[in-house]
């Protein structure tokens, strides 16, 4: 990821979701995700790249430390700066 990258989570206080700005903040956000879901996998991935934009669709399958299982479909829109990711903008289905 680019040094000044951003990750916009699928939920959060802002219209864009929770914003994580900069490589260290993005790394910390993913560390927290893997702490919350020690068993996590993204399956059924499909990926398309055109120019400086990419799209990935996926199914997240995870189990929390308490044993709760989660399964949800989602997608990411990527903006690239050269060969590095400048923005990862995530979306997921809401269950319930």
Which tokens sit at 48? 């398309």
Task: Give tens-digit pLDDT for 24-81.
Answer: 999 999 999 999 999 999 999 999 999 999 999 999 999 999 999 999 999 999 999 9
Taking the CA atoms of residue 90, residue 47, residue 59 and residue 12 in that order, the dihedral angle to the nearest 10 degrees is 0
* pTM (2 d.p.): 0.89
**The CATH fold of domain 6-92:** Nuclear Transport Factor 2; Chain: A, (3.10.450)
C-alpha–C-alpha distance, residues 17 and 33, integer Å:
15
Per-residue model confidence as pLDDT tens digits over 23-40? 999 999 999 999 999 999
Grouping H, G, I as helix, E, B as strand and the rest as coil, residue 46 is: strand
Handedness of CA 21, 35, 12, 81 (dihedral sign): positive
Question: Domain residue spans in the chain?
Answer: 6-92
């Amino acid at each position: 990821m680019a040094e000044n990258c951003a990750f916009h989570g699928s939920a959060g206080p802002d219209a864009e979701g929770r914003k994580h700005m900069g490589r260290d903040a993005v790394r910390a956000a993913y560390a927290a995700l893997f702490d919350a879901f020690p068993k996590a996998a993204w399956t059924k991935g499909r990926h398309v790249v055109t120019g400086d934009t990419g799209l990935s669709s996926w199914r997240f399958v995870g189990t929390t430390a308490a044993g709760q299982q989660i399964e949800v479909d989602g997608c990411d829109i990527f903006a690239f700066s050269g060969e590095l990711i400048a923005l990862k903008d995530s979306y997921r289905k809401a269950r319930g």
